[in-house]
Chains A and B, each alone.
Chain A
Amino acid sequence: MRGRRIATACLGLLIGACGGSGPSPAPGAGGQPIEIRDARARLMPGMGVAYFTVVNRGATADRLMRVETPAAASAQIHESRVEGSTVRMRELDAGLDVPAGATVELRPGGLHVMLIDPTVDEDETAIELVLTFEKAGEVRLEAPRDAPGGASTGTGR
């Protein structure tokens, strides 16, 4: 029982560290409480994708400016849209707005981070993502890898 409580506490610390809203705010952040949840990634030959949920608990809007990862040649914030019978994909050049108090979900069939030319070792079970916010600054996190067609990257739930 005690072991489990300690493990839970450690997990809480880890999640706090991921969220960038932990004890020490990111440099230049002014304590902007951005939290990242449910990160996951799927890598396939030549391309991959990452999803996560951004929670802005603050009173001011923020914007995800860019995503970087050592696991791919480049990463771009994209949006897929269905227009009638056509599927379109576009890069969000100006970044992704996260209004004050809002939760913005990147999930299959909509907003996502496209990973171009993944370079990751097949044995790696997670990839590192560095998210840069206009106000909150850098947020680093680990996105566990999902198998192709796996539940979390394949269905949106």
Chain B
Amino acid sequence: MPPFIRKTLPAVVAAALIATLAACGPGGEPFRGQAVDPGRPAPTLEGTNWTGEPFRLEQVRGRVAVVFFGYTFCPDVCPLTLARMKQLESALGERAEEVEVVFVSVDPHRDTVEKMASYVPAFDPGFYGVRLTQDQLDAAKESFDLTVQYGQPAGGPGSDTFYYVDHTGSHFLLDRAGRLRVVHPPDATLEALEPDLLRLLDEGAADSG
């Protein structure tokens, strides 16, 4: 081995190792979902919970949050996600008390607070079910970089018949400081979500503020 390689190789290896560790973060293991730069400003969200009380994302700080978007006329994927959240809480056991599940409607036209109240607590009364006004939705779209597209009502434009809402279905994982840290796809499994949540829980409140 030429001397210059013998000299620089350990440094290169060390640099690669450091880079890898940095990518993995303090916990060592990389996140299973897509990691988000922790320096990014905390997303904002403001609306009304299904209980009728105002909701601000800041009020769940100090706990880890899973935020996801949908609508109550979504018969298939949204209940699937809510049911998965319920399973996730069961899997987390006592630690689930430090996790907040926040379901947010992207359908202000049909999803009233009353509609949310008839839907969300059926899965778990401990879940937030946030109804947004159009202005609040516009702000959330910007904050979470959401795609929301409304389909044509079955009975034609302007009719009060059923329509689709294609929407971002990602799971957004927020740390105790309220920062967006990890994003999981709509079809994320429990096996992928649980370790990332545990890792965010383990970070504790002190080193995440």
Contacts and interface: CB of A to CB of B under 8 A. Distances in A.
Interface string B28-42: 000000000000000
A89 B115 contact: no
A109 B75 contact: no
User: Counting chain B CB atoms within 10 Å of each CB, which of A42, A85, A150, A154 scores highest?
Assistant: A85
Contacts of B185: 82, 84-85
A148 B79 contact: yes
Interface in B115-166: 115, 118-119, 122-124, 147, 162, 164, 166
Given A85-B169, A149-B122, A78 B76 contact: yes
Nearest to A88: B166
Interface string A75-99: 0001010101111111000000000
B110 to A, nearest CB: 8
Interface string B63-76: 00000001011111
Given A46-B73, A109-B76, A109-B80, A87 B162 contact: no
B83 interface: yes
Interface string B159-184: 00010101111100000000000010
A114 B76 contact: yes
Nearest to B74: A89
B123 A108 contact: no
Contact of B187 (A48, A82, A150): A82
B86 interface: yes
A156 interface: yes
B166 A87 contact: yes
Interface of A: 42, 44-49, 78, 80, 82, 84-90, 108-110, 112, 114-116, 147-150, 153-156
20 contacts: A44-B79, A44-B118, A44-B119, A45-B119, A47-B75, A49-B79, A78-B76, A85-B168, A86-B147, A87-B186, A88-B164, A88-B166, A108-B77, A108-B83, A109-B76, A114-B75, A148-B123, A149-B79, A149-B122, A155-B84
